[in-house]
Amino acid sequence: MLAFKARIKRELQRRQELGLSRQVKEVNFGNCPVLEHGGETFLNFSSNDYLGLACDDELRRVWQKGLEIYGCGSGASPLVTGFSSAHAGLKSALCEWLGFESAVLFGSGFAANQALIFGLLEKGDLLLQDKLNHASLMEAGMLSPATMKRFKHNDVASLKALLTDDAFVITEGVFSMDGDLSPLADIRAVVKEDSLLAVDDAHGIGVLGSEGQGSCHLAQITPDVLVVTFGKAFGLSGAAILCSEEMGDYLTQFARHHVYSTAIPPSQAYALTHAVTMLQTQHWRREKLAELQHSFKENFSRFPGYVETATPIKPVLLGDSHFAVEVSQALKSKGLWSTAIRPPTVPQGTARLRITLTANHELSHVLSLAENLERLLENGSIG
Ligand SMILES: Cc1ncc(COP(=O)(O)O)c(C=O)c1O
């Protein structure tokens, strides 16, 4: 007991000294372009609600209708009585939209990724992951009985050097902290028949592709497994693994996060099915994002640390963790919210502002952020 207490104290102190302590902040309307914190309002450049669905009235009304039809919680796991016509409707909509035979639903993307890796891999298997894959994938890989190796970020030659005939390869479609795209067409070309390619498209689904079908559609490939999450462009939460009929059956039987966890509320599945239609048909959301991204490039490309991306994730690299926190706080004093992202979420020495754009932003919001950031960095008012 004493050892645990000492460890907790020591680790908290260490985090503090390294400038890496994190706090949960009470934020209202973090799903809107203007959020509230401590009685003040801030322009929100930190949400993953890329298409502005999280505070959309149409989606809210559909969720409310779902509540009227189905009530509140699902009441059980999917294999007991938790799987309703709303869940079935969501599965069909996802399969039709994304071109897969089967979809298995999960309470979160974190759970879906862990379920996939733990459910599928055995001792003696080889798991190959991009070095910058999300923590949910990395952690599951490290804890799974398989041998995990990491290939260099977006480096197909590095992947090829590690590949065997029957490896399980996982990459993200859009990398969450860098906003860059995986070279999916090249990766698909080297991952041959007896291997499996899985793509976690948490940040590409809804945003990329002619009808929001995501990174794989953009790269014109079909992975063996596609993970989509509902907490970003869908404006809700939860996740699905899309795959073949047989793999879907396998995961339904053996994915423990599916078998032993309460199904998402049916009203949420009902709202998610409507979100699929909104993502497919409301092209204006992607067009608005494109306009904002163009303005972002025009106004930010002169800054040191600017990184060009084809997605609404816009990192500005600042390097030192303390400095990144100072910049983030100085922006807050100007009514602008952009959280500093530090190790261990990103590699050492690459602390950054992770600026995200959403279809609910206005061009004036982007200009205001650019002007303030420029003043802070150039006038030396911080650091
Ligand atoms: C690439 C990626 N995969 C999975 C997840 C986890 O998804 P969820 O937030 O639904 O648990 C995230 C979340 O940030 C992510 O960025």
245 tagged catalytic? no
How far is 314 from 296, CA to CA, in rounded Å? Answer: 9
User: Under a CB-based contact definition with an 8 Å cutoff, are residues 198 and 222 in contact?
Assistant: no
The closest alpha carbon to 22, from 313, 347, 342, 318, belongs to 342
Q: How many C-beta atoms lie closer than 10 Å to residue 64's C-beta?
A: 12
Q: Compute, in angstroms, the gap from residue 101 CA to the centroid of ligand 1.
A: 23
| Residue 360 domain-assigned (yes or no) | yes
Number of domains in the chain: 2
Give tens-digit pLDDT for 311-331: 999 999 999 988 999 999 999
| Residue to substitute in 114, 132, 136, 138 for testing ligand 1 pocket (most ligand atoms within 8 angstroms of CB) | 136
Domain of 42? 25-51+283-378
Q: What is the pLDDT of residue 193?
A: 82
Q: What is the pLDDT of residue 216?
A: 98
For 243-247, the CB contacts below 8 A with 24+ separation are 243/100, 243/101, 243/102, 243/103, 243/104, 244/100, 244/101, 244/102, 245/101, 245/102, 247/102
172 tagged catalytic? yes
Same domain, 276 and 289: no
153 tagged catalytic? no
How far is 115 from 105, CA to CA, in rounded Å? Answer: 11
Ligand 1, pocket residues at CB < 6 Å: 108-110, 113, 134, 136, 172, 176, 200, 202, 229, 231, 237, 239
Give tens-digit pLDDT for 151-191: 999 999 999 999 999 999 999 999 999 999 999 999 999 99
Residue nearest to atom 8 of ligand 1 (CA): 109
Same domain, 373 and 313: yes
Where do we find the tokens 């985090």?
15
Q: Mean pLDDT throughout 233-250?
A: 98
Q: Compute, in angstroms, the gap from residue 238 CA to the centroid of ligand 1.
A: 9
> Which residue out of 102, 113, 144, 176 is catalytically annotated?
176
Give tens-digit pLDDT for 5-63: 999 999 999 999 887 788 899 999 999 999 999 999 999 999 999 999 999 999 999 99
Same domain, 221 and 244: yes
Q: Mean pLDDT throughout 73-86?
A: 98
* pLDDT band with cut points at 50, 70 and 90 for residue 306: very high
- Domain end among 281, 298, 333: 281
Q: Classify 94 as helix, strand or coil.
A: helix
| Residue 242 domain-assigned (yes or no) | yes
Q: Is residue 382 predicted with pLDDT exceeding 60?
A: no
Q: Is residue 249 predicted with pLDDT exceeding 60?
A: yes
Q: Compute, in angstroms, the gap from residue 64 CA to the centroid of ligand 1.
A: 25
Q: How many C-beta atoms lie closer than 10 Å to residue 122's C-beta?
A: 8
Q: How many C-beta atoms lie closer than 10 Å to residue 257's C-beta?
A: 22
How far is 332 from 326, CA to CA, in rounded Å? Answer: 10
Same domain, 352 and 370: yes
Q: Compute, in angstroms, the gap from residue 171 CA to the centroid of ligand 1.
A: 13
Q: What is the pLDDT of residue 6?
A: 95
| Residue 292 domain-assigned (yes or no) | yes
**What value, to the nearest 5°, has the Cα angle with vertex 159 and ends 153 and 162?**
130
Same domain, 337 and 254: no
| Residue 20 domain-assigned (yes or no) | no
Q: Is residue 368 predicted with pLDDT exceeding 90?
A: yes
274 tagged catalytic? no
Q: Which atom of ligand 1 is nearest to the CA of 133?
A: 1
Q: What is the pLDDT of residue 20?
A: 79
| Residue to substitute in 134, 175, 180, 356 for testing ligand 1 pocket (most ligand atoms within 8 angstroms of CB) | 134
232 tagged catalytic? yes
Same domain, 161 and 294: no
Residue 7: burial class (beta carbons within 10 Å; 0-12, 13-18, 19+): exposed
* pLDDT band with cut points at 50, 70 and 90 for residue 378: confident
The secondary structure of residue 306, as a DSSP letter, is B
Same domain, 210 and 322: no
Residue 35 tokens read as: 């959020």
| Residue 252 domain-assigned (yes or no) | yes
Q: Which atom of ligand 1 is nearest to the CA of 230?
A: 10
User: Under a CB-based contact definition with an 8 Å cutoff, are residues 54 and 246 in contact?
Assistant: no
Q: What is the mean pLDDT of the chain?
A: 95
* pLDDT band with cut points at 50, 70 and 90 for residue 383: very low
How far is 99 from 168, CA to CA, in rounded Å? Answer: 21
